[in-house]
Structure 1
Amino acid sequence: MRLATDVPGFGQVTIRPVDPVADLDLIHSWVSQERARFWGMRGLGRDRVGEIYAYLDSLPTHHAYLLHRDGEPVGLFQTYQPEHDPVGECYPVRPGDFGIHLLIGPPPAGGTERGFSRTLLDAFLDFVLATPGRTRIVAEPDARNERAVARLVDAGFVPGPLIDLPDKRARLLFLDPATRTAAGQASR
């Protein structure tokens, strides 16, 4: 599935599935940076990152996507069905729950841009919620990643409990479409 949408004042945002071979150099360059430490892949070599994304690509319950702005890659997002993921063992999964992970790419040479991450998150949430039956979005960033937690809360996610996953202590956050609509209107 591929989606392209024009975002007024921002540009064209394209979302497409990750190609684990063609996109490997880009993904490895992003996940190996200090700024991506909470992604959990910083110390991994290129081949290991490739194995992980090839495995992810083989699963019907987990998917990875690259986001582009006007043709330039700017974000890496993953989705999953919580009942088929370790996170599903940490809370009572409801029908319609759908999990996400997000990694915003490094800022362009000109530096950061106000509202950039929120615009990408909104575009990705629109993409995720466009599929019928998804009634609640679940995120579980590393609990130490205060910026990610704050960004998700700003987008309308409601904080849940701290949970222990095999590779991190995480903060569960939940978003339903009505909460997102109210939060989006309040922040604009």
Structure 2
Amino acid sequence: MTATTEHEHADEYEHTVEGLGTVRVERVDPDRDAALIHGWVANERARFWGMRETTVEEVRDVYAHLDSLETHHGFLVRLDGEPVALFQTYEPEADRVSECYAVEPGDIGVHFLVAPSSTPRAGFTMGILEALTEFAMKDRKRAVAEPDAANEKAIALLVRAGFALGPEVVLPEVDLPEVHIPAKKARLAFLTR
């Protein structure tokens, strides 16, 4: 698949992927999107996202906290208007991953969750990921992903998308009043422009 058109605004981005449709990336609105996101992250297939036991209110609180940060951002991804994925970007030097690798200027961290679907489409996930890496790397040199080390599907997808695998690491626990994230064994993966 190849991109045919794209445009962006401050908190929005559109990228048309040939054979797939128009991918739109917009900031998560915690109040509007909490129930939708909760339905995705509470699903068994999203167990590696680490939010299966959360309530809708807790999801809203997590994304409200994320929205308050200048270094971390949550995005809702739509395909031809339909919500299909959750995407997060972050500044690695302001994240726990910075304790696990040498952050370089121009790095951006990424997290990606595809919504559950009852009608799989060939090339769907790769097309969405292609648009999201274009969005994340528009002014960056390298993207870093850190999926759970046991998430073989995510790791294989990143490799197919051109990411080079790095080492397995243990991301340290984050325990703040606003958020708690347990330690996690992860596999680093890098995409260099």
Instruction: Please name the residue that 2:120 is paired with.
Output: 112
CA distance in 2, matches of 1:113, 1:71: 16
Instruction: Please name the residue that 1:129 is paired with.
Output: 137
Q: Which runs of 4+ in 1 moved over 2 A?
A: none
Q: Which TM-score applies when normalising by structure 1?
A: 0.90
Instruction: Please name the residue that 1:52 is paired with.
Output: 62
Instruction: Please name the residue that 1:159 is paired with.
Output: 165
Aligned length: 173
Instruction: Please name the residue that 2:104 is paired with.
Output: 94
Percent identical: 51
Task: Let me know the Cα RMSD of the aligned residues.
Answer: 0.9
Counterpart of 1:129 in structure 2: which amino acid?
M
Q: Give yes or no for the alignment of 1:145 onto 2:151.
A: yes
Counterpart of 1:114 in structure 2: which amino acid?
A
CA distance in 2, matches of 1:118, 1:9: 12
Higher mean C-alpha displacement, 42-51 vs 77-86: 42-51
CA distance in 2, matches of 1:161, 1:125: 21
Counterpart of 1:91 in structure 2: which amino acid?
Y
Instruction: Please name the residue that 2:178 is paired with.
Output: none
More helix by share: 1
**Would you say the 8 A contact 2:108–2:137 is kept in 1?**
no
- Helix, strand or coil for the counterpart of 1:173? strand
Deviations 1:84-119 (A, max 9, x none): 000111111111111000000111x3x211111000
CA distance in 2, matches of 1:97, 1:23: 28
- Helix, strand or coil for the counterpart of 2:31? coil
More strand by share: 2
What's the offset of the Cα at 1:6?
A: 2.1
Give the gaps of 5 or more residues in structure 2: 1-10, 174-181
